[in-house]
Amino acid sequence: MCGIIGITSNKPVTSAIINSLRKLEYRGYDSAGVATLSNGFINEIKSEGRVDNLEKNLLNKKIEGTIGIGHVRWATHGIPNTVNAHPHSSETVSVVHNGIIENSTTLKKYLIKKGHKFKSQTDTEVIVHLITELLKENDLKNSILKMLKQLHGSFALGIIFKDQPDLIVGARRGSPLAVGYGPNENYLGSDSYALKSMTNKISYLNDGEFCIVKKNEVNFFDETGNKINKKVLELSSNEQDYEKGDFKHFMAKEIEEQPITLKNCIKEYIDSINNEISIHNFPWKNKEISSVVLIGCGTAYHSCMMAKYWFEELTTLDVSIDIASEFRYRNNRFKKDSLYIFVSQSGETADTYAALDLCNKNNMKTASIVNVIESSIARDSNFVLPIHCGPEIGVASTKAFLGQMLVLYLLILKLGIIRGDLKKVNYVEKIKDLKKLPKFVEDTLLTENKIQSVSSTFIKAKGSMFLGRGFSYPIALEGALKLKELLYVHAEGYPAGEMKHGPLALIEDGMPVVVLAPRDNYYKKTISNMQEVIARGAKVLLITNKSNDDVVSENIWQKIEVENTNEDLLPFLLTVPLQKLAYYSALKKGYDIDKPRNLAKSVTVE
Ligand code: AGP
């Protein structure tokens, strides 16, 4: 949820740190700061708000130094202001931190008794005083080991020391941390994206490990202090993936590139010559799996909900779903013949990672569906299914959602055919339809003008509802989430059939209600539910698929028709207008579309 960077070099580092902080802003942006070592002193500059503010402050007070650390914050403890911004420093130590120190109150009491003075309301500041206290009686390495033992909770740390002017210490537990290798300089960063403008040579720390980074050497240690070797990965970096190009926002670009990302993903998994889905090295035999548990958060959870319907339609596997933050504390009945599938765009979501860790500790079969293949969740799963969407920078997930659904659908078709649950003729037919999906999405993207016109009604309304049944229900939830995230208004996704059990009371004259009613098995029922809300004054935006027979209903405020395709694939098409509705509503309000308030792209804290 925060971003950290550290650089040790033979040349001044401040501007390189600022550049990396700009790339890290998608992880959190309510305050920022930088600290460097120069002339034997720690120099620290911090600011509330965006990195631009920090840069303005640096114009007034330039800080030199060839070693430094930087941080962008998403507040967990302490309001977002300059005092609580990182780095947190004493005379001799400066720290940047991503995560939550769960025993900070206890440690703070102990350190105050030792005479330490605290300036901020943050949990992080205890790290500064704890390592300072330990260094009084221990050398650097032992101080680090003792500190790591005393800290409870999650952290990715970057620490510089007045008396160690050539090194940065990094440590990881539960929050991602990477080391980058450059010419006469080396780096520490939350992820490869923060380092990509300086290097594509990366090593990743695992939980419990720490490192000592100097400009010409890096040493890694395990939690007992033994030196360990780390693989150096050379990551391919496609510059244009990280730029907006002609688009005003990353989200706009990522919505528009969905036909391409779907096509790329289909190419990765479908052998077009033989019309066969290839999922290489799937580690388990049919008889080893009799049920599936799908786990994720937010949009990723909605893709799990969607997959549940497909699993039930296309296989005989038992399937359950859970929100990761619930699963990790539930009294789970772990079953040997269950496959636990973790869906996560970033692969770093703390709750999802914790749920995976729990399954690993119980020796369960684990698979992950991720967009970032070098992420923690991917690294710690038995099997990984990448969604091949390219970097998704907009905080509101769009192309990754369609990518998650696509890979889940491919997996389900594959399991269906190898288990004999799906007839070959249906399997082949569905693959043929699937190959047309990018074109259908492309055509659906053209329903732009109507969406722009209806968005004004959603802006003015004090709230809205998104209704759907069956396959459309998870999409209704996703559409509501997009509008909440971007327009900062109440928007509720609900099963259409449930409205009469209470929420119908919410409907009042002029309230915008999106009804997802493609011509599928649920169509007639959903149209009846739609009539119930129209009868109570709702302004219904009906999203359905093209058909010759007209909708059996009057008084519909607006109608959008998406392309007609195989019923399984309609959820992909229904999603597109909802992404655009959220985008254009926020655009009209002038809100920050790529970095909505209070949010962050990768939620790496509980
Ligand atoms: C989606 O628009 C949100 N940004 C959020 O719900 C996100 O899907 C969730 O935090 C999970 O992230 P992940 O896919 O990276 O695990």
pLDDT band of 234, cuts 50, 70, 90: confident
Strand partners, 275: none
199 within ligand 1 shell (Cβ under 6 A) = no
Average pLDDT for the chain: 93
Per-residue pLDDT reduced to its tens digit, 496-508: 999 999 999 999 9
pLDDT of residue 584: 95
pLDDT band of 240, cuts 50, 70, 90: low
pLDDT of residue 159: 98
Query: Beta-strand (E) ranges in 17-113?
Result: 31-38, 41-48, 67-73, 88-89, 93-101
Tell me the residue type at 2: C
pLDDT of residue 1: 63
Q: In this model, does residue 142 exceed pLDDT 70?
A: yes
Q: Which residue's alpha carbon is nearest to atom 16 within ligand 1?
A: 344
Per-residue pLDDT reduced to its tens digit, 357-380: 999 999 999 999 999 988 999 999
Contacts of 486 (CB under 8 A, 6+ apart): 396, 582, 583, 585, 586, 591, 593, 596
Per-residue pLDDT reduced to its tens digit, 528-551: 999 999 999 999 999 999 988 777
User: Which atom from ligand 1 is nearest to the alpha carbon of 346?
Assistant: 15
- For ligand 1, the distance from its centroid to the CA atom of residue 556, given in whole angstroms, is 33
Distance CA 66, CA 425 (A): 65
Domains (range + CATH), the chain: 3-237 (3.60.20.10), 250-422 (3.40.50.10490), 446-589 (3.40.50.10490)
Q: Tell me what the mean pLDDT of segment 157-165 comes to.
A: 95
Distance CA 422, CA 176 (A): 40
Query: What is the best residue among 193, 297, 606 to mutate for testing ligand 1's pocket, by most ligand atoms within 8 Å of CB?
Result: 297
Tokens read off for 552: 């059996």
Q: Tell me what the mean pLDDT of segment 565-574 comes to.
A: 96
Place of tokens 């993903």: 265
> For residues 355 and 328, is the Cβ–Cβ distance under 8 A?
yes
Query: What is the best residue among 345, 475, 483, 597 to mutate for testing ligand 1's pocket, by most ligand atoms within 8 Å of CB?
Result: 345
Place of tokens 């950290």: 4
pLDDT of residue 448: 65
Strand partners, 189: 5, 178
Nearest 5°: the CA angle 359, 365, 366 is 70
- For ligand 1, the distance from its centroid to the CA atom of residue 308, given in whole angstroms, is 19
User: Which among 75-79, 112-116, 599-603 has the top mean pLDDT?
Assistant: 112-116
* pLDDT above 70 as % of the chain: 98
pLDDT of residue 547: 87
- For ligand 1, the distance from its centroid to the CA atom of residue 309, given in whole angstroms, is 21
In the three-class reduction of DSSP (H, G, I as helix; E, B as strand; rest coil), residue 212 is classed as: strand
Active site residues per annotation: 2, 601
Contacts of 550 (CB under 8 A, 6+ apart): none
* pLDDT above 90 as % of the chain: 77
User: Which atom from ligand 1 is nearest to the alpha carbon of 349?
Assistant: 16
Lowest mean pLDDT: which of 21-30, 301-310, 448-457?
A: 21-30
Distance CA 320, CA 467 (A): 22
344 within ligand 1 shell (Cβ under 6 A) = yes
User: Which atom from ligand 1 is nearest to the alpha carbon of 481?
Assistant: 2
pLDDT of residue 456: 93
- For ligand 1, the distance from its centroid to the CA atom of residue 298, given in whole angstroms, is 5
397 within ligand 1 shell (Cβ under 6 A) = yes
Q: In this model, does residue 62 exceed pLDDT 80?
A: yes
DSSP codes, 469-519: -TTHHHHHHHHHHHHHHHH-SEEEEEEGGGGGGTGGGG--TT-EEEEE--S
- For ligand 1, the distance from its centroid to the CA atom of residue 322, given in whole angstroms, is 15
Q: Tell me what the mean pLDDT of segment 553-562 comes to.
A: 89
Q: In this model, does residue 237 exceed pLDDT 70?
A: no
pLDDT of residue 549: 79
Selection from 189, 173, 156, 160 nearest residue 22 by Cα: 189
Nearest 5°: the CA angle 555, 561, 567 is 115
pLDDT of residue 239: 61
Selection from 373, 434, 440, 429 nearest residue 405 by Cα: 434
- How many CB atoms lie under 10 A from the CB of residue 514? 30
